[in-house]
Structure 1
Amino acid sequence: MDTHSTVQIVLFLAFTRFLVTGACFDSTCDRTGPLIRFPFWLQNLQPEQCGYPGFRLSCDSSNMTVLELPNSAPLTVQAIDYATQELWLNDPSDCLPSRLLTLNLSGSPFAGVYYQDFTLFNCSFDYRVYRLNPIACLSGQNYTVFATSSAKALRFLASSSCSLIATIAVPVQWSYFEQVLSSDLSDNIRLTWGAPSCGKCESQGGRCRLKSNSSNKIDCQISPSHRLPKGARYAIIIGAGIPAFLFFNALVCFLLRRIRVCWRRGRPEVEFTLSVVAPPRPVMTTGLDEPTIASYPRTVLGESRRLPNPEHNVCPICLSEYQPKDTLRTIPDCQHCFHADCIDEWLRLNAACPVCRNFPKSSAPVHAL
């Protein structure tokens, strides 16, 4: 056999092993149902080797998770606690007391967490007079069924016109016994299992599984983060986090630098395009000296606010309307008026008129006020 064929066989066997051992994923019948994993397994959704014998579940037509006990009718699984190895069951037909009358856990891996005896009576009197809680799904038009764990209620019902149905041990949910005057027995029953023992593994964050398909021995798989001491986990987090942060910071700096370079490279192209469409005007970087500015005509407005050009009644620099007693200054060449303070500051920085952008002649005439 050549090397190529050997590699193909090895890869095929590895792939087959993955399909057999790697398909044990958590599953559920619907979004609100309990999450199913070892020792339970969902028929038609998970392989049988993903569960433990006697822990088969299924999904009914309403997508409810169902447990079929060997000697009893199916019950719906309401919740599963894998760490405490407990599950809560109820009747899919909403008449749990009828199932409790025939409940038989023998032959199954389950047992009640706690048991409490309830006695059921069939009575013909009006239960509302005695404030008792009837079992509606077992009662009829002319009779009512009651269940009690109270010795006082038991004596009362036994001495009245009631017939005894049965006394049953109910896997109650509470950890201490209360004397219940009457109950409709509709609460979930609480069961547990002893084997396989995976509670310790689950409480440590691990997962149980079968060691092999040929035996019922189990193995606990704990993720590496749970095996390491807390100090070692912190060291790994810090050791990996600091380089990751530095790398991320360097990456951000590099990207910002690239963006800045690309933006700078793009600016001359934009300016060149603008220069083709609209040639830039010459810019004078220095303004006029104080004697030249002082030589421009000044005018103080009277109450009539009479201007050389009545339409220009707003200062083009500060955009304020001229008011009486405002001091105006006029640029001689173009006869544009401004507030004296506004245009003086402008001319110290730029000799061009801010309206027409024309530059004054070298020797501007001085007009008397």
Structure 2
Amino acid sequence: MEIFKYMEKYDYEQLIFCHDKNSGLKAIIAIHDTTLGPALGGARMWPYKSEEEAIEDALRLARGMTYKNAISGLNLGGGKTVIIGDPAKDKNEEMFRALGRFIQSLNGRYITAEDVGTTVEDMDLIYEETDYVTGISPTYGSSGNPSPVTAYGVYLGMKASAKEAFGDDSLRGKRIAVQGLGNVAYHLCKHLHEEGAKLIVTDINQDRVKRAVDEFGAEAVEPEDIYKQEVDIFSPCALGAIINDETIPQLKAKVIAGSANNQLKESRHGQILHEKGIVYAPDYVINAGGVINVADELYGYNRERAMKRVEMIYDSLTKIFRMSKEENIPTYLAANRLAEERISSVFKSRKQFMQREKNILSKRQS
């Protein structure tokens, strides 16, 4: 991997390698863009097959956070941490405290949070070494686990998507296929069940499947069969890149709306969905509830204020669907344009302000 060529292509600012021999920490912090403010993005722990795979994931996820924070109206840039290791067996206290020290050394350029493979308890350990962490335990005045809030945002986004596809946003009686039953998906299923949706679910973890069947009356299918179900909505809540050349021909749903990151394997797959008339809710828009929630901690957490911002996901998607229809462009491209326009507008405003300050200083010196 030609790292600098990749960073130049997508205009990254910084890539930091963190190593602590004592704890076994091997982490990478990627900072994509800080135009809107300090970079905010979670710390993910995963048993990557190679260091190159970890670097690429950090870079890709950091860029996604730039767009997610921008489209969500947050005054934050995009960043991400990946820790190389198995979260089931490689964690220890000093690992996260060491990571906290590395984050502290960035002097606020990057703020971390919980992500795949990490927990609130891990964030508490990071908090021992730095204030630049969100999603810590509520006993510290924080918001705690962001998964339920992420799920609520996905639920609202799914309703907006249903209105675009079916004419109203009711999910009662809708058949919804949910791929993956982790923390976010479980809470999403709870919302859908309470509204009267009919759930078809799958997960590689059979205990999770059994819980969904028992609690929500869900129908269970094998992982490879989830794409071809006769459903109204397909909700990917597990792996990324699952909208691809192999899966698209199998899909019978009119809507794709789920919590998984980087759902499109390639941008062209978003174009294919557009041409097929499938309503696609861009992932970084619909799953932004968690980051909106933890970002509120930076102002002194207020749940009511945070939830009002999460509810704006419905309006954001409605705007994206309208733009997609009016300009005949895929929804992912409409979302990208809106995010990029906000970043560009703030950049120009700051540049003009700095130029005015420079001119004033020059006049005073003359």
Length-normalised TM-score, structure 1: 0.20
Q: Looking at both structures, which has the greater relative contact order when contacts are Cα pairs under 8 Å and sequence separation is at least 6?
A: 2
Larger helix percent: 2
Larger strand percent: 1
Length-normalised TM-score, structure 2: 0.20
Larger Rg: 1
